[in-house]
């Protein structure tokens, strides 16, 4: 059994920046426990099998280091929830507790 | 034309024609692209509204008609036009479009207008196709039924009480209902093929890396692949060649020639499969498979044999790990990819009242903006990647992936293509699996291995299940960069089936909503 508890889900939600409700904690802990239990079937696989993270046999695809046009500032800011003086405006980031 | 089609639920003859035939008529000036586009817009108007199919989240009639006029002018001037110029197409709403919103069917992106076009969208426009609108999906393409859309479920045109598959249920349903002759989907674990199967349409997942994903909102980057949805194998191939090929903007893009899929579809349609070795994957049958699905599949395989194929059975024992591995790898990658939705640069922001920190605003926005399945997957991925679980979960899933690749490699040593039912059951009733995520995940059982291995796979309609009269799909899998093999076999089968007496209607009976509901 995977034994994912309500507290575990609360911890995962915090890590993932999801302000889940109490009701959701009940539902999600039950569902995630069942899902993790099922997917744990991969545990049977021997350790000496090499991993495959992706299937395209290439690495480090680089483009020439040349200047190209980028998005105009107003276009980049057009979808922003808040903008000010040509920049993204964000809530306070200092003094917060993690 | 307008009056006639209004009386028949937008049932102009034009909505039932193949894309290739529409293009031929447009280019021969037998019909204009504007007329073709208008016929499809009328069909959407007639069948897509409340209580109807609800394949579209956004329709851009004005933009579509303007694009159609431009093609008609080019045709009138006698200039060269590309093979599908003037043909309408629908685009899954997880691909960016500058002239239409891109929502991924999520509240967190409600109304968002991207600053750039996805490469595939740019290629559609450059080839003169007419984007009609954006189609519904499970939120961020996570699901098998479109029930996870924040903007309502799409309904299956064959039975409006049933799901159209997912995540690309909107694209496949639009094609099935005659609302668009072509559509783009994206397939991470079956999201093009499974909706294709349950709506009686063709859906293709090309080899990983052969269609650019620049501008596709990322779900699981090592699995995601854009591909075509159509009503015929040749139409899918024609669209495939429009969107495929190298793109320097996608680092995983394969820098080489695209497999000759149109040529393969044309060759296949001549109906000769002599010498083609077809392997039936024995793991994809038995418990959990609907008898009507297995019977239709078995009959389809019999037809392949009649066309000259050598049919054998092959065992891929590691495929039993595919579903667990997928539901670790995809959520892990999703938990990372969806970190970009942070309420800072675009999309929804909740709780920014001056008193709350960035961290609080972020958490509240993501809580409000994401639906339950997306949250579940983000948390499962966060768990699988956490220090205490990484080796036992994510690490093992990557090892499972190796075994699955090895099974494919071994099978393709003795077979040219592998076949299976595309999905274990026909379309299930809306609501049946929404409270049971694990039951929902089973819909992707047969399609996931090809995503994990990155090879090519498609679903081609193989008639209706005898037990419920709903469409069944046959999946045809081919090695990476051998997409043409799958097209050849699918086209041969399709041609044989079209001449069979039980071929059935290609567009289901679907009455106009007005007056019928």
- Cα distance between residue B238 and residue B258, in whole Å: 12
* A12/B379 Cβ within 8 A: yes
Q: Is B191 a catalytic residue?
A: yes
In tens, the pLDDT along A9-51 reads: 999 999 999 999 999 999 999 999 999 999 999 999 999 999 9
In a domain, A19, yes or no: yes
pLDDT of residue B363: 98
Residues of B in contact with A92 (CB under 8 A): 357-358
Of chain B, the end-to-end C-alpha distance in Å amounts to: 24
Sort out which chain B residues have CB atoms less than 8 A from A20's CB and list them. 367, 375
As assigned by CATH, the class of the B14-318+403-498 domain is alpha beta
Q: Determine which one of B33, B106, B186, B191 is catalytic.
A: B191
pLDDT of residue A61: 83
In a domain, A50, yes or no: no
CB contact under 8 A, B352 and A81: yes
Q: How far is A68 from chain B (nearest CA, A)?
A: 12
Cβ of A78 within 8 Å of Cβ of B115? The answer is yes
pLDDT tens digits along B312-335: 999 999 999 999 999 999 999 999
Residue-wise pLDDT tens digits, B419-434: 999 999 999 999 999 9
Is A35 touching B (CB cutoff 8 A)? yes
3-state secondary structure of B108: helix
Q: Is A12 within the bounds of a domain?
A: yes
For residue A69, being part of any structural domain is answered with no
Residues of chain B short of pLDDT 50, as ranges, are 1-8, 515-517
Using only C-alpha atoms, what is the Rg of chain B?
22
pLDDT tens across B17-42, in order? 999 999 999 999 999 999 999 999 99
Q: A81 and B347 in contact by Cβ < 8 A?
A: yes
Number of domains chain A contains: 1
Is residue B389 part of the annotated active site? The answer reads no
Q: Which residues, at least 6 apart from B438, have a Cβ–Cβ distance to it below 8 Å?
A: A34, A35, A38
Q: What is the pLDDT of residue B515?
A: 38
**pLDDT recorded at residue B172:** 98
pTM for the model stands at 0.96
Model-level ipTM above the cut of 0.90 = yes
Nearest Cα to B301, choosing from B66, B492, B512, B49? B492
How far is residue B120's CA from residue B455's CA, in Å, rounded to a whole number? Answer: 20
Contact (CB<8Å) A12/B383: yes
Can you list the positions of beta strands (E) in B422-484? 456-464, 471-478
Q: Is A56 on the interface with B (CB under 8 A)?
A: yes
Q: Is B12 a catalytic residue?
A: no
- Chain A nearest-CA residue for B248: A63
Residue numbers of the domain that contains A10: 6-43
Judge if the upstream peptide bond of residue B385 is cis by omega within 30 degrees of 0.
no
Q: Which are the contacts of B433, defined by CB distance < 8 A and separation ≥ 6?
A: B145, B439, B440, B443
């Amino acid at each position: 059994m995977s034994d994912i508890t309500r507290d575990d889900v609360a911890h995962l939600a915090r890590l993932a920046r999801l302000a889940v409700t109490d009701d959701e904690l009940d539902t999600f802990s039950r569902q995630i426990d069942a899902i993790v239990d099922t997917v744990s079937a991969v545990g049977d696989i021997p350790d000496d099998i090499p991993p495959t993270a992706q299937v395209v046999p290439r690495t480090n695809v680089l483009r020439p280091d040349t200047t190209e046009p980028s998005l105009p500032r107003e276009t980049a800011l057009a979808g922003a929830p808040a903008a000010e003086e040509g920049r993204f405006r964000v809530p306070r980031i200092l003094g917060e507790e993690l | 034309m307008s009056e006639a089609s209004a009386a028949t639920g937008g049932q102009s003859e034009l909505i039932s024609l193949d894309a290739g035939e529409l293009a031929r008529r447009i280019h021969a000036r037998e019909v204009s692209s504007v007329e073709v586009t208008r016929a499809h817009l009328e069909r959407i108007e007639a069948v897509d509204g409340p209580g109807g199919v609800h394949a579209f989240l956004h329709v851009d009639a004005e933009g579509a008609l303007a694009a159609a006029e431009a093609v008609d002018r080019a045709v009138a001037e006698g200039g060269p036009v590309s093979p599908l110029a003037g043909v309408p197409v629908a685009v899954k709403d997880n691909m960016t479009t500058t002239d239409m919103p891109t929502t991924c069917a999520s509240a967190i992106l409600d109304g968002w207008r991207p600053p750039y076009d996805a490469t595939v969208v740019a290629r559609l426009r450059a080839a003169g196709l007419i984007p009609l609108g954006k189609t519904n999906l499970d939120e961020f393409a996570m699901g098998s039924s479109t029930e996870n859309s924040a903007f309502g479920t799409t309904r299956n045109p064959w039975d409006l009480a049933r799901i159209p598959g997912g995540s690309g249920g909107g694209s496949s349903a639009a094609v099935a209902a005659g609302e668009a002759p072509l559509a783009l989907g994206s397939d991470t674990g079956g999201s093009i093929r499974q909706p294709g199967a349950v709506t009686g349409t063709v859906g293709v997942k090309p080899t990983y890396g052969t269609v650019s994903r620049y501008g596709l909102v990322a779900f699981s980057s090592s699995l995601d692949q854009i591909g075509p949805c159509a009503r015929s194998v040749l139409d899918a191939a024609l669209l495939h060649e429009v969107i495929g090929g190298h793109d320097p903007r996608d680092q995983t893009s394969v820098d080489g020639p695209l497999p000759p899929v149109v040529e393969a579809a044309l060759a296949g349609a001549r109906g000769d499969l002599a010498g083609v070795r077809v392997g039936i994957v024995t793991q994809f049958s038995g418990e959990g498979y609907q008898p009507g699905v297995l019977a239709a599949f078995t009959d389809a395989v019999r037809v392949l044999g009649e066309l000259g194929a050598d049919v054998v059975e092959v065992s891929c024992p590691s495929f039993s790990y595919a579903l667990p591995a997928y539901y670790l790898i995809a959520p892990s990658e999703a938990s990372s990819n969806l970190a970009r939705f942070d309420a800072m640069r675009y999309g929804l922001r909740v709780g920014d009242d001056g008193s709350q920190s960035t961290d609080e605003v972020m958490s509240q926005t993501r809580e409000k903006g994401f639906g339950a399945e997306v949250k579940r997957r983000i948390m499962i991925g966060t768990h699988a990647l956490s220090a205490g679980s990484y080796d036992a979960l994510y690490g093992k899933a990557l090892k499972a992936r190796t075994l699955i690749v090895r099974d494919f490699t071994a099978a393709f040593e003795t077979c040219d293509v592998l076949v299976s039912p595309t999905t274990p059951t026909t379309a299930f009733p809306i609501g049946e699996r929404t409270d049971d995520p694990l039951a929902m995940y089973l819909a992707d059982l047969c399609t996931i291995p090809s995503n994990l291995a990155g090879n090519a796979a498609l679903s081609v309609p193989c008639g209706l299940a005898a037990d419920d009269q709903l469409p069944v799909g046959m999946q045809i899998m081919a090695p990476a960069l051998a997409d043409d093999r799958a097209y050849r076999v699918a086209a041969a089968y399709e041609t044989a089936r079209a001449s069979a007496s039980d071929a059935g209607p290609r567009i289901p009976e679907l009455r106009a909503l007005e007056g019928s509901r």
